[in-house]
């Protein structure tokens, strides 16, 4: 038997999931376009997610972030529309780390209790709960009204006369006022509609640096102008005002990292984030997804993640890191559990889905990460990327099926699914800030394909098209098999090169590999070609036959997705499977020994 089971993460944009309104007016208000609530994650909803084989649910956009809404009667200050992207606001411009988005509550006064109830419901369905932590920046108007006694806001004790001081939470341009960007031609906040409340000019004095690192007191339109960058003890010249870890600490355990940081000078921002994550762990949250983790020094992650792991060893820690040269430092020294596998695997699979690229490259990608393959989370969609079915990507959800099989099965790493992906959501709507192709994270909007599956809370696909139902059926078959397969968590060997050399008709639009452990042997082949089918005599190399203990005879084989029957013939040390693989088809062939 092979140890462990596949981790399958379902990312859901929380305010969009349960929304049933279909007007989808550009820049529409919450009354016009609607918003989902925590309460919309009913037992039926969570069961439908669990049916996909999901183990972890990442509730995106839960924390209270800046938005254009009127909650003054709840003691929540207004956010100026000129420092909010869209009308509903960016989930990565956190306004209060100690409470949740008031839009998501039925009763705003009890919004935190409603989220705690959702955590409990999720756990009852066997789902671990993950939320975002955004360490690099906060909303320009950060103001916690919910912080525990003794906790101070970011910037509350800062010396604003200095550009930098190690225990300041922000970087400043002393004696300069902040100015909002010069808007791109044709752009106006809220699409030019009147502001819903009187705010006057936004005043920030002195100006703080912007989240993406811009030091200008007037950032550009394409900067993260709605956020202020946090200071982790790195001076403007790059010098670090904290101790650095010895290189061999990449091999040390969490307790050793905790002990390293004891009795050392720790920047104030580090301590504030430790308090924040402890707060949410105590609420029952099981893990965190860290936004733009590579913009924050790796030593901070050692401090934070080791503290989390000592407090809750089973916690799930996922980071957004895009630089391949940082993968190993952020895993080893930074004590991350998992990183996005975007720059290598996702980008190459995207090319293959679009009819470009070459499957040969997948071999080198896996070889390069062989020592960390388990820690590289795979995905084809998330809130930052174009929907597969969008015109900017493939315009057809089924073109992603082969890539999804590779993503789910080529390594032991977690796999992530973005809500709506399983029904082929194309994100056609013009929501307001941004453009179609990505489901908006900035505005109130409905998600039509998902809404048809949701079917007014029945979550039975009662309004879905045949194509949408077939798409979900594929994802459910694949992910449920992956979640329960022992071989997927076992050994891996590519057989792609062997078949390019020995199998007529085999080409670089196909990709094949095997996975196995003691009680399960799998042969996987996918066809990225959208138009051509292939008749193949797929070959298994002799060293693999020896490893599997296969003798000269005929073995039964069954596809694990749709249960077609095949045979593996072993003769004189040569293994051969006769198959016909259709365009965009994937076969997961189990060998019965």
How does the average pLDDT of the chain come out, rounded? 97
Burial of 73 (C-beta count, 10 Å sphere; 0-12/13-18/19+): exposed
Q: Are strands 534-540 and 574-581 parallel, antiparallel or unpaired?
A: antiparallel
Q: Round to whole Å and give the CA distance between 210 and 223.
A: 7
Residues 253-310 have pLDDT tens digits of: 999 999 999 999 999 999 999 999 999 999 999 999 999 999 999 999 999 999 999 9
Phi, psi (degrees; rounded to nearest 5) at 379? -160, 160
Q: Round to whole Å and give the CA distance between 321 and 339.
A: 6
SS3 call for 50: helix
Residues 431-452 have pLDDT tens digits of: 999 999 999 999 999 999 999 9
H-assigned helices in 317-418: 327-332, 347-353, 361-368, 401-409
Query: What is the average pLDDT across 341-349?
Result: 96
Q: Round to whole Å and give the CA distance between 216 and 236.
A: 13
The pLDDT, as a whole number, for residue 115 is 98
Q: Round to whole Å and give the CA distance between 298 and 326.
A: 9
Q: If we measure between CA atoms, which residue out of 194, 219, 189, 182 comes closest to residue 204? A: 219
Q: Round to whole Å and give the CA distance between 418 and 54.
A: 11
State the first-to-last Cα distance of the chain, in angstroms, to the nearest integer.
15
Q: Which residues pair with 588 in a beta bridge?
A: 524
Residues 204-263 have pLDDT tens digits of: 999 999 999 999 999 999 999 999 999 999 999 999 999 999 999 999 999 999 999 999
In sequence order, which residues have a C-beta less than 8 Å from that of residue 377 and are 6 or more positions away? Answer: 9, 318, 338, 339, 340, 341, 413, 414, 415, 416
Binning pLDDT at 50, 70 and 90, where does residue 203 land? very high
Contact 112, 104 (CB under 8 A): no
Residues 235, 238, 239, 243, CA torsion sign: positive
Binning pLDDT at 50, 70 and 90, where does residue 4 land? confident
∠ CA 312-313-318 to the nearest 5 degrees?
A: 90
Looking at the predicted structure, is the pLDDT value of residue 563 above 60? yes
Q: Round to whole Å and give the CA distance between 207 and 241.
A: 23
Residues 68-77 have pLDDT tens digits of: 999 999 999 9
Phi, psi (degrees; rounded to nearest 5) at 228? -115, 135
Q: CA gyration radius for the chain? A: 25
The continuous run of DSSP H or E covering 316 comes out as: strand 316-319
Q: Round to whole Å and give the CA distance between 501 and 324.
A: 31
Residues 83-93 have pLDDT tens digits of: 999 999 999 99
Token readout for 274 is 């430790």
Contact 57, 17 (CB under 8 A): no
Phi, psi (degrees; rounded to nearest 5) at 511? -145, 135
The residue with tokens 């292939």 is 534
Looking at the predicted structure, is the pLDDT value of residue 1 above 70? no
The residue with tokens 């138009």 is 531
DSSP string for 493-526? EE-HHHHHHHSTT--TTEEEEEEEETTEEEEEEE
The residue with tokens 């259709």 is 582
The pLDDT, as a whole number, for residue 2 is 61
SS3 call for 224: coil
Residues 494-545 have pLDDT tens digits of: 999 999 999 999 999 999 999 999 999 999 999 999 999 999 999 999 999 9
CB neighbourhood size of 592 (10 A): 10
List domains and CATH numbers for the chain.
8-141+234-484 (3.20.20.80), 487-592 (2.60.40.1180)
Token readout for 313 is 């060893």
Q: Round to whole Å and give the CA distance between 582 and 559.
A: 14
Looking at the predicted structure, is the pLDDT value of residue 583 above 70? yes
Q: Round to whole Å and give the CA distance between 352 and 404.
A: 12
Q: If we measure between CA atoms, which residue out of 573, 436, 406, 410 comes closest to residue 491? A: 410
342: left (phi over 0), alpha (psi -120 to 50) or beta: alpha
């Amino acid at each position: 038997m092979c140890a462990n089971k596949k981790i399958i993460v379902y990312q859901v944009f929380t305010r969009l999931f349960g929304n049933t309104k279909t007007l989808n007016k550009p820049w529409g208000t919450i009354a016009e376009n609607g918003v989902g609530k925590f309460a919309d994650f009913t037992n039926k909803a969570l069961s439908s997610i669990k049916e996909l084989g999901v183990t972890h649910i990442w509730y995106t956009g839960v924390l209270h972030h800046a938005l254009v809404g009127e909650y003054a009667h709840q003691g929540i200050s207004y956010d100026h529309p000129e420092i909010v992207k869209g009308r509903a606001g960016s989930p990565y411009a956190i306004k209060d780390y100690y409470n949740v988005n008031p839009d998501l509550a039925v009763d705003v006064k009890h919004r935190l209790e409603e989220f705690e109830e959702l955590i409990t419901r999720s756990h009852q369905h066997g789902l671990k709960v993950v939320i975002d932590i955004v360490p690099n920046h906060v909303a320009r108007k950060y103001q916690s009204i919910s912080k525990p006694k003794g906790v101070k806001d970011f910037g509350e004790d800062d010396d604003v006369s200095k550009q930098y001081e190690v225990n300041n939470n922000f970087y400043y341009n002393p004696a300069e006022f902040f100015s909002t960007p010069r808007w791109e031609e044709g752009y106006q906040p809220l699409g030019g509609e009147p502001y819903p409340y009187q705010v006057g000019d936004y005043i920030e004095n002195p100006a703080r640096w912007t989240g993406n690192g811009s030091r200008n007191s007037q950032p550009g339109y394409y900067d993260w102008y709605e956020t202020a960058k946090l200071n982790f003890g790195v001076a403007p010249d790059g010098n670090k005002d904290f101790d650095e870890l010895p290189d061999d600490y990449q091999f040390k355990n969490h307790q050793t990292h905790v002990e390293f940081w004891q009795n050392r000078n720790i920047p104030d921002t580090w301590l504030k984030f430790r308090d924040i994550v402890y707060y949410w762990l105590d609420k029952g949250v099981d893990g965190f997804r860290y936004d733009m983790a590579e913009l924050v020094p790796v030593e901070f992650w050692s401090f934070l993640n080791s503290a989390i792991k000592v407090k809750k060893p089973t916690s799930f820690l996922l980071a957004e890191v895009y630089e391949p040269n940082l993968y190993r430092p952020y895993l080893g020294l930074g004590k991350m559990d998992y990183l996005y596998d975007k720059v290598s695997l996702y980008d190459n699979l995207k090319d293959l889905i679009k009819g470009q690229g070459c499957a040969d490259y997948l071999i080198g990608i896996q070889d390069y990460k062989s020592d960390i393959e388990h820690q590289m989370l795979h995905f084809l969609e998330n809130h930052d990327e174009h929907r597969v079915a969008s015109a900017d990507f493939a315009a057809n959800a089924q073109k992603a099926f082969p890539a999804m099989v590779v993503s789910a099965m080529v390594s032991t790493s977690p796999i992530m699914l973005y809500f709506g992906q399983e029904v082929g959501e194309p994100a056609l709507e013009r929501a307001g800030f941004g453009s179609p192709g990505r489901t908006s994270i900035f505005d109130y909007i409905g998600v039509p394909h998902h809404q048809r599956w949701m079917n007014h809370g029945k979550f039975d696909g009662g309004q879905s098209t045949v194509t949408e139902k077939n798409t979900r059926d594929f994802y459910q078959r694949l992910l449920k098999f992956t979640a329960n397969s022992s071989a997927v968590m076992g050994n891996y060997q590519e057989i792609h090169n062997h078949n390019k050399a020995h199998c007529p008709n085999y080409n670089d639009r196909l990709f094949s590999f095997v996975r196995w452990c003691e009680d399960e042997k799998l042969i996987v082949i996918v066809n990225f070609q959208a138009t051509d089918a292939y008749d193949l005599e797929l070959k298994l190399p002799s060293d693999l036959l020896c490893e599997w203990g296969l003798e000269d005879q005929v073995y039964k084989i069954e596809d694990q997705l749709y249960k077609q029957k095949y045979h593996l013939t072993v003769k004189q040390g040569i293994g051969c499977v006769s198959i016909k693989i259709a365009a965009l088809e994937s076969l997961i062939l189990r060998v019965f020994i």
